[in-house]
Structure formats: structure tokens, C-alpha cells
Structure 1
Amino acid sequence: MKKLNTFIMALILGLGSFSCVYDFDELNTNPNLVDRISPGTLLNPIIYGVSSFNTSRADAFTFQLMQVALPFPSAAGGVHRYDITEAAGNSTWNTYYRWLINIKEMEASAIENQDPNYEAIALTLRAWVYSLLTDSFGDVPFHEASRAEDGILRAKFDGQEEIYAALLEGLERANSLYDLQRSMIFGEDILFQNNVSKWQKFTNSLHLRLLMRISNREETGALSKMAQIIQQPEQYPVFNSSDDSAILRITGVAPNLSPWGRAIDFTTFRAMSEFFIDNLNELEDPRRSKFSIQARDLDGQTAIGFKGIPSGYISNESAFEFIPSNHNIALVQVPMISLIMTYAEVEFIKAELAQKGVISSNPEAHYQAGVEAAMNHWGIDLPLGYFDNPAASYDGTLERVMLQKYLALYFNDYQQWFEYRRTGYPVLPKQPGMLNNQQVPVRFRYPVDVQIHNRSNYQEAVARMGGDDINTKVWWEK
């Protein structure tokens, strides 16, 4: 009956099917096939399932929207021209709710097994996935989600403010639950290899991310809470080196497979954007060759350096007298990495806080540490003299910090998009070929299935938010 109710809930919320692709999914999406699940049974499938989806969405959506890489050729429309279809967020809604059901099961199992570390990890995973969901849509079902067994078949939408309060409370509780003297006994996890200390650092680093996300809402007290976390490292340990980063190593050994069945699909009909490549060129940044390949003359043989094409370009490949830089296919060939949250992001958070006077440390030191760490997680050493370049040196502005954070968040799910919406940086190009009045969309529309099957709750949420439109700002943006 529980399995049936979960399926009914999936239908009503528009969560999609529960079909399986990999062995992780086969194990995870059928927990009722065994008499009793352990939290460890669910942990790896959740980590892999969400991370691999996020990596594929970084390519399919964030790269285009944030002018990193563009479809080429592309005659009209497309995400890179801010033409966002009504169905653009469907996979995001379906996938995240699918895994949130599993996270809820994991939390229940951890409590049943009286294991505080797994309970803390489940709370952390819940905050990670729900933050991605609510930042993508705004108000979403939270308290009544995944409760078909309680007779709730049409979940109410909760306001984003309330959702964030619950997620932050959960992260605070998670930090208090960790027991560093207690081993994780339910198998080895694929993210931190059962290192409880690293899980706790991830919890508190994620706490900083979410607080920074809502920091423009002064009533939340987010800035003072971030200062507390940073100033009390014994109580709130966070990432303090690249080795701490939450980065999934995708080995290519089943079931830990690349999200790309064929790596060639990553480079087919693609080109790097002029905006992204020109910034790397100005910085003389060694990440250029990690992220992309050189452009070539029309002969297809002669390399002419790193060169992208304009955002919102009009016409097709015949309008250019060169073959533009493309993705580096090695990025999606195993072994590869999937970024969840990095030490670099923590340093950029600290740089911004120090710049605002929220913490007393040196913003330039944090900025430089963030840049170096962002190179390190791609296996690149910071070149000597990198910061001697005026384009790379710390200049005391948020714009400079956010440009480097934008580069550091490359291939990190939707984070470039979320941070652009929070700060307005980096300043993206506006071109005549762009739609939506040349404005970057700020959310997905709710799936049609949700509009139809959960209509009254949908309408209530839309009225509260001010519309179901790609330009309707979520709570923390207003």
C-alpha cells in the first residue's frame, strides 16, 4: 500500500515515472523489495541520481542561459536567447521530487536505526535538493509533499520564505547531530567515503550557501548567522581546503556511470560563447584549455586560439569566418567529476562577507584563495603572476568577486543562474537576437501536470507569488 500511495502522489504532483536507468536507481526506487531498508541503502543512489542529473542540466540549461556555451548552428529561439518553454522545468520538478521521496525514506530509516550521522546527512541532502527546487520555481509543496500514505493527495504549496526557514533549521539540527566518534556502518558512501567530519563540513558550508542566497532579505538575519558560523569553526566546521569539497568522482564503473551515454553528444552542434571565452582570454586563464578547445580556420585544421561566438547571434554558421571553440569532450569522459559544492564557493562567500564588513578577515585573501581552489578542483595549478594581471587582481568590488565565482561555478548545476539572480553579476551581454526583452528569466513555470491535477493549490501559490511567469521573482529576489 505504501508503494501504491507513493506512486499516486507522484502522479498528482506531476513527478513523472519511476523508470530506472542504472543499478543505483534499481536499488533505490524499489525500497519495498526488501523487508527493511537501511539509510546506507538509499544514500549512494540519492547522491549519484541528483548529482548526475545536475551535471546534465548544467550543460543543457545553465550553460546556455548564462552564456557559457551555445547551440551552433541555431536559427531561432532556444534557452540561450531566453526562449524558455512551458515544459523547461519539468525534468527538474520530477527528478527532485523523486529523490526527495527517497531522502524522506532515508531520514525515517536513520531515525528507526537510531543513527544520528545518517539522520544529519539526510537533513543535509533534503536542504540541498529542496533549495535547488525552490530556487528554480519559488513556492513549492514542502510540508505536505510525499504524504500520500497520510491521505494527502494534493499537496499545498508552501511559501519560499517558510521553506527556507525549515531548511535552515534542518541544517542547524544536522550540525548538532553529528557524532565524529561514531562510524558510518551501512556501507561506504561514494561522496566522502564515510568521513563524518567531511559530511559535517558539507552541512555547514551548504548552510552558508543558503544563508547567502537569502541575505538580501535583511529580516532573515542571514548575515549575522553567517558571521556566527565562520567565527565559530569548532562548532560549525566548514570546507577549509579543496580536499573537503563535495565533488562526486564518477568512475565509469557501473553503476557510477557518466550522465552522457555518448560523450560525443556533449560537443555535437555546440560552440563556446564569446562572453565566456573573452573573459578567460582577458584573464589569461589556464582553465581555457580544460573547458574548451581552440577555434580553427575554415579549413578545419589551423588553430587560431580560443574564440567564441556572440550571445543571441543572428544567422547560422555561415555568418562566421572560423570554426568556433567548442566544449572539451574530456570533461564528460570518465573518470569525470560532478560538482555539488566546493571549497572555492566557501572562499568566495567569505570574500563577499569580508568586503561588506560582516567578518573582519581580508577579502583579497579570500578572493585569491577562491580563485586558486576553483582551478585546483579541475586539476590546475594557479599560475605564478596570475593576479598581476589587472583583469584578475582584486579591486574591492563585488563585480570582480562574482566574475570569478561565476567561473568557479562552471558545471555546478544551476548555481551560476541563482547567483546571477541574487547579485546581477556578471553583467551578461544583451543582443538583438535575444527574446524576453533581453532579460534573463528568473524561474521555471510550473509543470502543466501540476496546473491540471493540483489546480486549487497551484492557483493559490501563483496568486501569492504574483504570477506563473519566467519573470516572476521568487521571495529572496524581491
Structure 2
Amino acid sequence: MKNIVKLLIITFLSANVVSCTEGFEDINTNPNEVSEINPSSMLNPVIYNIASNNARKNYDITSQLMQVHFPYPSITGDVHRYHITVGTGSSVWNAAYDALGNVNEMLNKSFELEDENYTAINLTLRAMIVSNLTDMFGSVPFSEAFQAEQGNFTPKFDKQQDIYTQILNDLEQANHLYNLEESLLYASDLLYQNDLVKWKKFTNSLRLRLLLRVSDRQPDAWQQIETMLHNPTVYPVFEDNSDAAVLTVTGVTPNLSPWPREQDFSNARTYASFFIDQLNELEDPRLPIFANEAKDLEGNTIGYLGIPAGFDNAGSDFPYTPSGLKQPLIIAPMPIILMSYSELQFIKAEAALKGHFNDAEGHYKEGVKSSIEFWTNQNFDETYFDNSFAAYDGSLERIMLQKYLSLFFTDYQQWSEYRRTGFPILPVTNSMENNGVMPSRMLYPDSPNIYNSENYDQAVQEMGGNTINAKVWWDVN
């Protein structure tokens, strides 16, 4: 595997690629083929590393941009004030290409061995990783990404539209490749323990996410969504929380929390008023799972209170200690969500609202219910919907608010959905940079500019500059 990492470094020249695979090789090695790669050799390291990095970047990027939580005290700058540098998304770039190098090797091996189940699984993982990468940056190397052995050290940047065309086709192909009559040959995977039915549901649920993402740009996306939703036998999707793509961090080496010390997660961190206010108004049972109660200056608990994201420097002294992050969120068994069942239900609700499926209210309610049950581990109380703020009102804004809450701690999805729909409507302060305009993308790291300058320059020119305001292809708002 050192050769794989070496090729990645040569191809992308991302010298700070970090791998956290130590220990997984023993777990995920076929004893009959220990000296060479197989279609599953690096499956568990890929799942763990990308999920772990997603969780950290949700903490560093998405939760700040989307006014969930952010550093406090925070006098100037920081992502919640839209202060974005070339380093903000660099670890996303590095982690994605590290994982994609390993997926590419496993995919090639699955082709060679004609192992269609592992081909389907690796196509699914590749689509998930690449979609997050291109949603973050726009144009990125993809079709020529791993051609260093053929002498191509400067891969072209593929346009996002072309990338989406490929990965959506890959997911369609993957769905038809699964052979549920056969068992997976190698060690149990961390995500689904070799359950092919659940892998197939993930493949199709992910495809629905990505089709919805491009539905304002790709003319036939809604037709494809309708075909899938109306043919669940051909295109099975998540049916309950047990189907969701959730990595359970066990706390047993090497499957450890991304935060080795719990205090590093919760110290100097506070919830934003916007996020806390929504949950308060909903009287939401997820609130005590997510947050601690605020305290007044005498140390008395005063309920759940946040502070405004991007607060003005002059207003940095608040007469209370705001609600902070609960440490149990990152203590094993810790769930890291790649895609939830509730997200799938909100996709169905939006499709029904726009006339492409049925029962928008039913799917909206199921999305809310499943998210609350996932986080509280308790049966849902239907009186939740007696609250007028929770009741379905037939609007996309209402669906998207609950979808936003359900995407808590889920990589970059809140931010992507905000860019796609403009919801939820977030408050703006005078201390926010970029004239208070939500960033549309992350900046490319320095390495492609230095070592792949010709292709980099072309991509930047086509996108309208390496700026945070250059919109990705599917962002029409």
C-alpha cells in the first residue's frame, strides 16, 4: 500500500496526506491472499478514515457555516464568520484522494477477478467520496486521477457536470451488479458486516441524494427519481434506521473516536443561537442529547441558550455561559453518519411536494420521527406534531428546516442542501466577512496550483476564479 500512497503524492502532490490505517490490515486481510491486494483489502480503512475525517470536517466547516456550533470565545475570523483560507478545506482534499487511491486499487482488482459485488460496493464508495469532494471544490481531477503508473502526473480537472454524469451512471450500474445469492468472500466490513441487501439499499439511497442535488440542472433527474421511487423492488432503498449508512465507532483499537480526548471536542465550543432556538421552539427531545444547559453568572442553569454565529466583536461578552456540546456525542459507541434513513425520507417528501411522488406529509413526519428516534433511542411521541412549528405546512422551507436538524453531524450535507435550496434562512451579522454572503465553495489547496498549474489554471478560469463565491455547477440559487 506504500506504493499507492506514493502514487497519490506524485499525482496530487498533497504532501500532508495522513492515513489512519494502522491496525486495520490485520482485521481486513484474507489469510489466503496476504501478499497482494484483493477487492476488499482496504475497505475498512477507507470506511473508517473517510468517516472519521468527515466528522472532523463537519465540526470544523459545516457546523460553523450552518450555525450549529462554533469556537467560543472567537474574537475575529473563523469559519462561522465566513473567513475561508486555502487551508480550510485542504484536509478534505487530501483525505478524499487518499481514500480514492485505495478504492481505485480495489475496484481494479474486482474487475480483474470479475467480483461484481465488490465492484458495486467500491463504485458506491467512490461515488460518495467524489460527490463530497466536487461539492466542496467544483472541478477536480477524476477521470485521469490515478494514471501515474502510465506517466500522467498532471491530471486534468473534470467539470462537475461530467463527474456527476459518471458517478450517477456508476450507481445505476452498481445497483444491477449486486448478486444477493452470493456471499462476500472477505472479512466483514465495518459499515454493514457484509450484508449485501443493506449495501444495495445504500447504493440507491445515495443515488437519490445525488439526483436531487442536480435536479435543478439535469433535465432528466426527476424522471430518474420517479423511476426509482416507484420501483422499490428494482431499486430498494433504506426502510428504517437499521439500514442507514452509519459507522459505529466501537472504541476498540483501531476503531477509535476521531477525538482521542473528549475535552478537545467540547472545550471552547458553543452552540449557535439559530440551532438552539429551532430546537427550543420545537420542544425537541434531541436538544438534551446534543447540548448542555446554559448557566448564568452565578452558575445556575437557565435552559438552553446559544449565541449568534458571527457575533460582533463588541458583543462578545454575554451575561451567561452558553450551551455547549455534550461529550457523549463522541464517546463510543459513537455513530458517524454517512447517510441516514431520515435524509432518505426528506428526499421522498420533497419529491412528493414537487409532484414526483406521493404523501409528502407522511414522509416528512417519518423523517422527523426517525431522526428523533435515532438520537434519543426512545419511541417517538406523536404529540410532537401538535406544535404548530413542527406540523407539516406544505412548504419546502418546513421540510428543509427539519432536514437541516436531521443532518446534524453528517459531513457536508447541511451546507450542500443550503446552497441547493437557500433553506433554512440563516441570520447574518455585521462581523461576517464576504459581505455576509454564504461561501459557495472551498478554495483549492496550494499543491495543484504549484505542481499541476496548467490544468489548475484552466479549471479556475472555467469556474470564474478560485474564490469562495464561484458557484459549483448545481448551485443555481
With structure 1 as the length reference, what TM-score do the two structures score?
Answer: 0.95
Cα contact 1:350–1:366 (8 A) shared by 2: yes
Matches within 5 A, 1:198-277: 198-219=198-219, 221-277=220-276
Q: Which residue of 2 aligns with 1:126?
A: 126
Q: Which residue of 1 aligns with 2:343?
A: 345
Q: Which residue of 1 aligns with 2:45?
A: 45
Q: Which residue of 2 aligns with 1:433?
A: 431
- What is the count of residue pairs matched by the alignment? 473
Tell me, in whole angstroms, the C-alpha distance in 1 between the residues paired with 2:165 and 2:101.
20
Q: Which residue of 2 aligns with 1:298?
A: 297
Tell me, in whole angstroms, the C-alpha distance in 1 between the residues paired with 2:394 and 2:59.
31
Cα contact 2:212–2:347 (8 A) shared by 1: yes
Moved more, 449-458 or 18-27: 18-27
Alignment RMSD: 1.9
Task: Return 5+ residue gaps in structure 2 as ranges.
Answer: none
Compute the displacement of 1:311 (Å): 1.8
| Cα 1:429–1:264 shift into 2, 3 Å | same
Is 2:465 aligned against 1:462? Answer: no
Q: Percent of pairs identical after alignment?
A: 47
Amino acid at match of 1:406: Y
Post-superposition CA distance 1:244-299 (Å, at most 9, x none): 10111100001110000101111111111100000000000011001111001112
Q: Secondary structure at the match of 2:246?
A: strand
Q: Secondary structure at the match of 2:108?
A: helix
Task: Return 5+ residue gaps in structure 1 as ranges.
Answer: none
Q: Secondary structure at the match of 1:338?
A: strand
Compute the displacement of 1:13 (Å): 1.5
Tell me, in whole angstroms, the C-alpha distance in 2 between the residues paired with 1:286 and 1:88.
33
| Cα 1:449–1:39 shift into 2, 3 Å | same
Tell me, in whole angstroms, the C-alpha distance in 2 between the residues paired with 1:475 and 1:318.
37
| Cα 1:89–1:19 shift into 2, 3 Å | closer
Amino acid at match of 2:124: T
Q: Secondary structure at the match of 1:39?
A: coil
Matches within 5 A, 1:355-370: 355-359=353-357, 361-370=358-367
Tell me, in whole angstroms, the C-alpha distance in 2 between the residues paired with 1:41 and 1:26.
7
Cα contact 1:161–1:475 (8 A) shared by 2: yes
Tell me, in whole angstroms, the C-alpha distance in 1 between the residues paired with 2:18 and 2:423.
39
Q: Secondary structure at the match of 1:197?
A: helix
Compute the displacement of 1:114 (Å): 2.3
Post-superposition CA distance 1:56-113 (Å, at most 9, x none): 1111111111000121101111100001112111101111001000000111122223
Cα contact 1:293–1:328 (8 A) shared by 2: yes
Amino acid at match of 1:96: A
Cα contact 1:39–1:109 (8 A) shared by 2: yes
Tell me, in whole angstroms, the C-alpha distance in 2 between the residues paired with 1:434 and 1:26.
45
Cα contact 2:137–2:441 (8 A) shared by 1: yes
Is 2:305 aligned against 1:310? Answer: no
Is 2:190 aligned against 1:190? Answer: yes
Cα contact 2:19–2:49 (8 A) shared by 1: no
Compute the displacement of 1:29 (Å): 12
| Cα 1:54–1:380 shift into 2, 3 Å | farther
Q: Which residue of 1 aligns with 2:15?
A: 16
Post-superposition CA distance 1:300-320 (Å, at most 9, x none): 3x1100000012112388621
Q: Which residue of 2 aligns with 1:151?
A: 151
With structure 2 as the length reference, what TM-score do the two structures score?
Answer: 0.96
Is 2:368 aligned against 1:371? Answer: yes
Q: Which residue of 1 aligns with 2:417?
A: 419
Cα contact 2:10–2:148 (8 A) shared by 1: no
| Cα 1:29–1:176 shift into 2, 3 Å | closer
Amino acid at match of 1:290: I
